Amino acid sequence: MSTTPSTTHLHSLRYKAGAVIRFANTTKCWQDGTLALDSVNLELASGECCIVIGPSGAGKTTLLRSINGLVTLTSGSVLFNGERVTRRSLRRIRSRIGMVHQQFNLVGRLPVMDNVMTGMLSKTGTLRSLLKLFPRADVQRACRLLAQVGLEESQLYRRAMYLSGGQQQRVAIARAFISRPDLVLADEPVASLDPTTSEDILHLVRSVSRQTGATVLCSLHQVELARQFADRIIGMRAGRLVFDGPPESLTDPVMREIYGTTAKNVAAAREHGRDNRTARVDEASVRPSHVAELT
Amino acid sequence: MMNARLKHNGSRPPEEWGIRRPFHWGHALVICLLMAALAYSADRTDIGEGVAMSTDAALTGLANLVGFEREPSAVGRGISSFAQRSWPIVVSRERRVDDLGRNFDPDADMPWWSHIETRPHPVTGEPIEYLVQPVGYLTYVVGLMVTTIEIAIWGTLLALFLAIPLTYCSASNYTPHPLLYVLGRSLCSLSRAVPELISALIFVVLFGVGPFAGVLALGFHTAGFLGKFFADDIENADRGPQEALHCSGANPVKVLRFAVLPQIMPQVFAYVQYILERNVRTATVLGIVGAGGIGLELIGQWNMYKYGHAATILLVIFVTVVILEHITQRLRRRII
Ligand SMILES: Nc1ncnc2c1ncn2[C@@H]1O[C@H](COP(=O)(O)OP(=O)(O)OP(=O)(O)O)[C@@H](O)[C@H]1O
Ligand SMILES: [Mg+2]
């Protein structure tokens, strides 16, 4: 029942399982000449929780979005389960990837239930989905997932726009995981949430992905949270990977390399982490029980 | 410290920043030009004369009110003559029994709430039987109004039906093909460009006099409105949820159904309500060109100078529009 994942163990498993995602010399150069990805080579093993950190503009979002075709590459390629991501394979590949967005991106006027079911659209026939006639098994799965992320039956038919940010992100997690994805992408999933909720949300992503065996690729600005939840941390700077390793090897010199040479930045990042830690101590007792249940 | 950094970057201190004034001489020039154009156009559209006549009428009315004698104005004379001739409004209906045909049997064929009156002929004095229906004309007009509303409803349904493919083609982010986008947008503009009275004339020629021509005219005209409104709304809908659904591998039709339709539903209701209301108002005049409804009766009575009948019709139209507005307003509040 420990709340911190045992990271070293999973990290050592990394190269035993097959690669879910493989970046091969992936390069993205925007029209204005910004090199957002500079021949990135990276492999993610199945079941791994990998967190990308790096200063603003480092290319974290671009890295994540290049996987499901939201960014067209300048050169190089991205392989998903050994298959190259192309225009033709895109829809099939997308149906195997769940995504948690920073701004949740729920459909505000739809009830919670329907929002979760939209994660299953790629696996439901067009006519069935137009009439919202989802298979019973899927609906029950949605309910289980919602309970798992800590929503109650009374919220099932509330419109998503009336939920709090944290609740919306929980619904978004249920939506991302309902299709049993091989990979879950999360681009700053907790950027607009308070420290306690952030931690809860990351806990959820972590525990649900463990249960379903999904690989997680997540970008974060909170280094301390990254240390806490990642099996593997990737440091990016100006489109290049400058660090790749387990949380323990994320030392101060490495931090300086990722975030810049000014000591101020590192201090600020540390400060940020300390804030989170104190918040955790303060609010450990009030954390909802479901989080403990899951881990 | 802030200031120091700004200066360091070579910017001016905030006290010296250039502030734009909300108005400048360019605005004044534009206003002057607009005024000149309006003045020129007012001359061409007899606005001056109309204003003079209305002022005259208002002054006369005011003078009469205060007790002064003033020569009656042209507009005032018109109003009073129309008011005199249209009052009292005609509610009842009288027909000579002789005109009803030989087969009319006073015991079996009497219409609802009616009686037979015998009055002497005003000239010859011989007794004549009349079939009198005390509210006969009013019920007849209300019946026509119901037909008119039916025309409007069917026209709106037709418009909705036609608007679905038009919308799908005319929303730039969901159109199946760029050419279909151009086609859809053009059809929308075309259908809005042809006035209903004109298209009704054509449909009367094609399908004969009657309500169906009216339904077609309304449907084709308002489909363009709905198509354009819906397509614009789809284009402006929040992109976040749409992207999220695209990312999960849903095809465009499913994205439309789940990420766009729920978002635009309130506007869709508002537009359909507006279109239904305006179709009722328009359907009242479509009868003038023979496309069914209350308009035919109105223009007929008007042309025979029967202003009492016309006043009844106008009153029924007015009351209907007011009631309809109330009902749709309530419905909308409940649905949204
Ligand atoms: N649509 C775009 N057009 C042009 N340049 C872009 C676009 N999107 C991103 N960039 C540029 O690519 C670089 C990487 O951006 P990206 O959004 O991936 O950074 P990030 O690491 O996610 O930053 P943040 O932490 O602020 O979210 C930046 O320099 C950015 O200006
Ligand atoms: Mg980003």
At B7-60, the pLDDT tens digits run: 455 678 888 888 888 888 999 999 999 999 999 999 899 998 999 999 988 988
Structural domains of chain B sorted by starting position, each given as residue range(s) with its CATH number in brackets: 93-134 (no CATH), 138-335 (1.10.3720.10)
Tokens of B238: 């929040």
Q: From atom 22 of ligand 1, which residue's Cα is the shortest distance away?
A: A61
CA separation, residue A59 to residues A53, A75, B163, B308 (Å): 10, 15, 43, 79
* pLDDT given for residue A62 in this prediction: 94
A34 C-beta closer than 6 A to ligand 1: yes
- Residues of chain B contacting A160 with CB distance shorter than 8 Å: none
**Mean pLDDT computed over A71-78:** 93
Tokens of B279: 């179709």
Nearest Cα residue to A240 out of A19, A50, A55, A49: A55
At A232-254, the pLDDT tens digits run: 999 999 999 999 999 999 999 89
Higher pLDDT residue, B177 or B333? B177
What is the rounded (10 degree) CA torsion for B189, B191, B194, B197?
-150
Helix residue ranges, H only, A187-251: 195-212, 223-229
Indicate which of A68, A120, A121 best probes the interface with B, i.e. most B CBs within 10 Å of its own CB. Answer: A121
- Residues of chain B contacting A101 with CB distance shorter than 8 Å: 240, 243-244
As a whole number, the mean pLDDT across chain A is: 84
- Other Cβ atoms within 10 Å of A182 Cβ, number: 19
- Nearest by CB to residue A94, choosing from B249, B254, B259, is B249
**Mean pLDDT computed over B148-173:** 96
- Other Cβ atoms within 10 Å of B122 Cβ, number: 7
As a whole number, the mean pLDDT across chain B is: 89
* pLDDT given for residue A277 in this prediction: 42
**Mean pLDDT computed over A139-168:** 93
Contacts of A71-75 spanning 24+ positions with Cβ under 8 A: A71/A28, A71/A36, A73/A26, A73/A27, A73/A28, A73/A37, A74/A27, A74/A28, A74/A29, A75/A25, A75/A27
A62 C-beta closer than 6 A to ligand 1: yes
AA identity, residue A213: G
At B226-279, the pLDDT tens digits run: 999 999 999 999 999 999 999 999 999 999 999 999 999 999 999 998 999 999
| Residues in Cβ contact with A171 at an 8 Å cutoff, skipping those fewer than 6 apart | A104, A106, A112, A115, A116, A146, A149, A151, A160, A163
Q: What is the C-alpha separation between A99 and B250, in angstroms, rounded?
A: 13
* pLDDT given for residue B10 in this prediction: 64
Q: Residue B325's pLDDT band (boundaries 50, 70, 90)?
A: confident
CA separation, residue B136 to residues A33, B117, B140, B148, B321 (Å): 82, 15, 6, 18, 22
A54, A237 contact by CB (below 8 A): yes
**Which chain residues have CB less than 5 Å from ligand 2, an ion?**
A 61
Q: From atom 27 of ligand 1, which residue's Cα is the shortest distance away?
A: A56
pTM score: 0.81
Environment class of A253 (CB within 10 Å of its CB; exposed 0-12, middle 13-18, buried 19+) = exposed
CA separation, residue B266 to residues B200, B262, B334 (Å): 31, 8, 11
* pLDDT given for residue A268 in this prediction: 58
* pLDDT given for residue B329 in this prediction: 85
A66 C-beta closer than 6 A to ligand 1: no
**Mean pLDDT computed over A7-24:** 61
Q: From atom 8 of ligand 1, which residue's Cα is the shortest distance away?
A: A62
Residue B81 φ then ψ, to 5°: -70, -40
Q: What is the C-alpha separation between B198 and B17, in angstroms, rounded?
A: 59
A64, A153 contact by CB (below 8 A): no
**Is the per-residue pLDDT at A93 higher than 80?**
yes
A58 C-beta closer than 6 A to ligand 1: yes
Nearest CA in chain A to B241: A105
CA separation, residue B109 to residues A119, B100, B101, B138 (Å): 68, 10, 12, 20
**Mean pLDDT computed over A155-172:** 94
**Is the per-residue pLDDT at A2 higher than 80?**
no
User: Using the beta-carbon criterion (under 8 Å), do A122 and B263 form an inter-chain contact?
Assistant: no
3-state helix, strand, coil in chain B (%, to 5): 70, 5, 25
**Mean pLDDT computed over A259-266:** 64
Percent of chain A with pLDDT over 70: 82
| Residues in Cβ contact with A274 at an 8 Å cutoff, skipping those fewer than 6 apart | A224
B75, B54 contact by CB (below 8 A): yes
DSSP summary character for residue B90: P
3-state secondary structure of A43: strand
Q: Residue B130's pLDDT band (boundaries 50, 70, 90)?
A: confident
* Distance, CA of B199 to chain centre: 16
User: Using the beta-carbon criterion (under 8 Å), do A121 and B250 form an inter-chain contact?
Assistant: yes
- Among the bound ligands, name the one nearest to the CA of residue A187: 2
End-to-end alpha carbon distance in chain B: 52
* pLDDT given for residue B150 in this prediction: 95
* pLDDT given for residue A16 in this prediction: 42
